[in-house]
Structure 1
Amino acid sequence: MSLAFLLTTLVVVATPGTGVVYTLAAGLSRGRRAGVLAAFACTLGIVPHALATVVGLAALLNASAAAFQILKYAGVAYLLHMAWTTAKDTSVLDVDRDSAPLSARRVIVRGVLINILNPKLTIFFFAFLPQFVSPGRSQSAVRMSALSGVFMLVTFVVFAAYGALAASVRGHLTSRPRVMTWLRRSFAGSFVALGAKLALTAR
């Protein structure tokens, strides 16, 4: 395992994106458990992209404009849905300790969908992983699978840290409804911005 791969992976994972925004929102809204579940869900959402790369489907997606556009706009639609839900549903960032916990299933499904409906992950894996696999290597698929596993492990650890950090400050926000309203709107705006960025992204 090269140091270059680990450093690049860490930079890519730690850079704020849809998964980070979602994990922070989960940690703020329902605490450490929800933050960790969101991190786990976002990591699960990477699995199809990694598998697509290993088995060669990424090449097909990269070559097919129609396939890329369909997946891209499905992702845009879901991000806009997340923005609307976050902005309108006050329970999304409700830090009342006596409130009922958000179901684990709901947290996981949302997190998985966020990353599954992100075609740039497949393109990223297709462009990123081969750089760390020697051409003509007999076990290149095995090595790419191992690298994908490391990428997902780093994703989970970093996202879980984000979620735990958000959960650690949620108590300070309980008595500040205006701050929570601002945060809710900020997260909604972030989902809109990320959706717009994805919509404008060319292959």
Structure 2
Amino acid sequence: MPVESLITFAIASAILGIAPGPDNIFVLAQSALYGKKSGFLVTLGLCTGLIVHTTAVAFGVAAIFQTSAVAFTLLKMAGAIYLLFLAWQAFRASADRFEGAGLNLRSSGALYRRGIFMNITNPKVSIFFLAFLPQFASPAHGQVAAQIFLLGGLFMVISLVIFSAVAVLAGQLGGWLNSSPKAQVYLNRIAGAVFASLALKLATASANVK
């Protein structure tokens, strides 16, 4: 692929990664609650989930979500229910039990899987990739599927860098807030509201890419 196309794609991907969206807001909330390490593990999970979406686009599977209302609805409702579960956990947490909950959630495998599940249950990502990645691929530059995987890999690396930075900044903020029991409660309530709003946004999403 031409270097110019890759540079343009990288710049566009960085802008998209910085713009507030469900994934980076999710990383921010997790990092503020449980520290930058937890946010980084969630970020790894989210970026791993992008492999699924990239593969779906490369082999045309993502088109199913654009044409099948049932498939799109089932997947987005699964994601919304999971986010509501996270909101419920955050709302019921208190300062007295905050440390215990945090320790449970700091399981590396659990946090990594949380990021993957959050990403792959959002059909909007597949549809976005279906609309975004092919714009930078061309049969004139070789096998299109290989180009899609290259672009998807570049998008993952850029997202990893940006989301990791979000995790570090939010983790520092969360560490300061966690020094106060009252701040712990407020932080959990804010996180619960964030998760609930993300669930609502996902549940009401349409298949159209804006």
* Alpha-carbon distance between aligned partners in 2 of 1:173 and 1:165, rounded to the nearest angstrom: 13
Equivalent position to 1:47, from 48, 51, 54: 51
* Alpha-carbon distance between aligned partners in 2 of 1:6 and 1:112, rounded to the nearest angstrom: 23
2:134 equivalent to 1:130: yes
Deviation of residue 100 (structure 1)? 7.4
* Alpha-carbon distance between aligned partners in 2 of 1:28 and 1:76, rounded to the nearest angstrom: 21
CA deviation map 1:37-91 (0-9, x unaligned)? 1111111122111110011111222111111111111111111111111222348
2:24 equivalent to 1:20: yes
Mark the CA change 1:135 to 1:29 in structure 2 (over 3 Å): closer, same or farther.
same
| Identity fraction in percent | 34
TM-score w.r.t. length of structure 2:
0.85
1:159 partner SS: helix
1:164 alignment partner in structure 2:
168
* Alpha-carbon distance between aligned partners in 2 of 1:107 and 1:143, rounded to the nearest angstrom: 31
Letter matched to residue 192 of structure 2: A
* Alpha-carbon distance between aligned partners in 2 of 1:21 and 1:86, rounded to the nearest angstrom: 15
* Alpha-carbon distance between aligned partners in 2 of 1:200 and 1:31, rounded to the nearest angstrom: 30
Give 5+ residue unaligned stretches, structure 2.
none
Give 5+ residue unaligned stretches, structure 1.
none
Mark the CA change 1:88 to 1:100 in structure 2 (over 3 Å): closer, same or farther.
closer
CA deviation map 1:141-195 (0-9, x unaligned)? 1111100001111111111111111222333223322222222111211111121
* Alpha-carbon distance between aligned partners in 2 of 1:115 and 1:196, rounded to the nearest angstrom: 16
Letter matched to residue 109 of structure 1: R
Deviation of residue 26 (structure 1)? 2.9
1:78 alignment partner in structure 2:
82
1:201 partner SS: coil
| Structural RMSD (CA) | 2.4
Mark the CA change 1:109 to 1:81 in structure 2 (over 3 Å): closer, same or farther.
same
Letter matched to residue 10 of structure 1: A
CA deviation map 1:114-143 (0-9, x unaligned)? 111100000000000111112565411111
CA deviation map 1:92-130 (0-9, x unaligned)? x9479x967721111111111111110000000000011
Mark the CA change 1:77 to 1:141 in structure 2 (over 3 Å): closer, same or farther.
same
Deviation of residue 7 (structure 1)? 2.1
2:93 equivalent to 1:89: yes
1:151 alignment partner in structure 2:
155
Letter matched to residue 200 of structure 1: T
Letter matched to residue 13 of structure 2: T
Letter matched to residue 119 of structure 2: N
Letter matched to residue 8 of structure 1: A
Equivalent position to 1:108, from 95, 108, 112: 112
1:182 alignment partner in structure 2:
186
Mark the CA change 1:193 to 1:171 in structure 2 (over 3 Å): closer, same or farther.
closer
* Alpha-carbon distance between aligned partners in 2 of 1:44 and 1:53, rounded to the nearest angstrom: 15
